[in-house]
Structures are given as structure tokens and as C-alpha cells.
Amino acid sequence: MSESRALGRALRGWRDRTAPAAVGLPAGGVRRAAGLRREELAQLADLSVDYIVRLEQGRATSPSPQVLSALARALRLSTAEREHLYLLAGQAVPGPGQLSAHIPPGVRRLLDQLDGAPLSVHDAAWNLILWNPLWAALFGDASAQRGRERNIVWRHFAGLPGRVSHTPGQEARFEAAVVADLRAATARYPTDAGLRSLIRELRATSTDFARLWDTGIVGVHETDTKTVHHPDAGILTLDCDVLMVPGSDLRIVACTAAPDSDASERLRLLDVIGTQAMTEYSTPA
């Protein structure tokens, strides 16, 4: 069996075993199999249905690492299965010197079961990987954003529009923490070209970033507040915590409000708006 046909067979097998409910999709309607439809996998991975068909039929023979990462997340592959996917596609398995956007299945299940709080997941360079419907309702749906637009550090220092405002003290703490994060990431992932490119572009774009980078500033993430200006729900002041996933460099950002506060009431209102399925980053085929 050729590698492309073996890849297609593996993808069909993983798709067939994945229950819609396990990935946040409704299980209703007439189904010939218990697993995902091709259209559903395409939606979850942000790929075209035609490309999924060509992959499964062995007619698309060179999927990129970005596509493979999106498929692995959408199908909730284990670490071993993800490595097998890369090998079948003829791509090098991401090693310790490169950033990883892989979300372990256990972490995905945990995120699926948490509600009532806006949640987002980022890699070690603060690229947005995953978010829940309430996060999209609060901060705006990021599904149309691509590349640098999904990087939290880039958005801040490049002055891209957003709904969050900081006091001078909050801004100083945030900038110190994310610059320190990127510095630490360059030490852990010395061969990651995307990370190096991000640093170069940030230094060229923002004099504030370049100044902080050159000082060797050190900062840590602590619980802080953010003020979010929502076009419909008004102003919400929320506590934001950064949680690290053991065994990986993923960051889970959770925004919460004090019980019975005005912000908590506004979040409950937004929870009605955020009805889309969990959305994650991928690169279209």
C-alpha cells in the first residue's frame, strides 16, 4: 500500500471512530456511521470538503505540517497517533526544538466540560489555537483571522484593534510577562523559524517591544483584571488567569467575574450569544 493510500485509510479510520458529541457537534439526523461526516471534519479543521476527500482517496499527497496539525486536533489524536499521522504524510514529526500546537485529548475534554467562562488556548509564542463560544462572544470571533492576527503579542504591540483596555500598570505587567515568555520560548525552541520571524518582526514594528526585549526584562503571569468593551453587553471588568498545561507549553487563559456581580450577569447574557462549536486555528488547504 502506498503512503498516500495508507494516510487516507488512517484518516477514514480516525474519522469513523470520532463521535460527533465528543467534538461538540450535534449527533442528530440520519447517519450511516457513528463517526464524523467529511463535512464535519472539514469544518473542525478549517479545510475544504474536497481536500478531505482527496486526502482520504490518496489523491492529495503532500499535506503541510499546518494541515496535519489541524487534522490531529480535530480528530483528537493521541501523541502516538499524531506522530504516526506525520510519518504517513512524509513530514518530520515536530521535535523538541519546535513549537507545538498539539492539544492532548484529556485537555480537550476538560475544556469541553467547562462552561460559564471565556476560555482560550495559546502556544508558547502566544498564537491563539482554540477558543470556546463564550470567548468568541466576548472578544469577537477570530475564525476569519490568519497568521499574525492570531498572535496576542503581535496584536498588542502592532496596535491592532481589540476590545480590551488596560490601565498603565496593567499594560506594564502584561508587556513584561509576554516579552519574558517569548524570550524563554526562544531558548526552548531554538530551531523554530516561525518564532524567530515573529521576534524579528516585532522588533522592527514596535519600539516598545524592542526596548523591552533589549533590557532582558523578566516577568511572570499573575492574576490581573481586564476591561472589555463589548458593543452590545457594555463594559465588563474580569479577572484573567493564565493556566499552564503540565507536560506542554500550552497556556489556558480563563476570564471570570465575581459571583452576582454586574460583569457576571453580562457574561451570562453573552453565553446565550456564544452558540458556535469550539473553534480552533488551522491553515486552509
Percentage of the chain beyond pLDDT 90 is: 37
Lowest mean pLDDT among 58-62, 203-207, 276-280: 276-280
On whether both 57 and 143 belong to a single domain, the answer is no
What is the residue range of 204's domain?
105-280
Q: What integer is the mean pLDDT of 63-90?
A: 87
Average pLDDT, the chain: 85
Question: What is the pLDDT confidence band of residue 216, given thresholds at 50, 70 and 90?
Answer: confident
Domain boundary among 88, 121, 155: 88
Q: Are residue 117 and residue 17 in the same domain, yes or no? A: no
What integer pLDDT is reported at residue 96 of this predicted model? Answer: 66
Same domain, 225 and 275: yes
Buried b (16+ CB within 10 A) or exposed e, 225-258: ebebebeebeebebebebeeeeebbbbbbbbbbe
pLDDT band at 282 (very low <50, low <70, confident <90, very high): very low
Is the domain of 173 the same as that of 144? yes
| Cα diameter, the chain | 61
Residues 200 and 251 in one domain: yes
Query: 57, 88, 119 — which closes off a domain?
Result: 88
Residues 57, 114 within the same domain = no
Q: In this structure, are 115 and 77 located in the same domain?
A: no
Residue pair 19/31 in contact (Cβ under 8 Å)? The answer is no
**Spatial distance between the Cα atoms of 187 and 195, rounded to a whole number of angstroms:** 11
Average pLDDT over residues 161-181: 92
User: Is 96 exposed, middle or buried (CB count within 10 Å of its CB: 0-12, 13-18, 19+)?
Assistant: exposed
Residues 142 and 37 in one domain: no
* pTM attached to this predicted model: 0.72
- Res. 273 pLDDT band, cuts 50 70 90: low
- Looking at the structure, tell me whether residues 8 and 54 fall in a common domain: yes
Number of separate domains in the chain: 2
Are residues 173 and 198 both part of a single domain?
Answer: yes
Is the model's pLDDT at 199 over the cut of 90?
yes
Other C-beta atoms within 10 Å of 275: how many? 10
What are the cell numbers at 138?
466576548
222, pLDDT greater than 60: yes
Q: What is the mean pLDDT of residues 163-181?
A: 92
Q: What CATH code is carried by the domain that includes residue 124?
A: 3.30.450.180
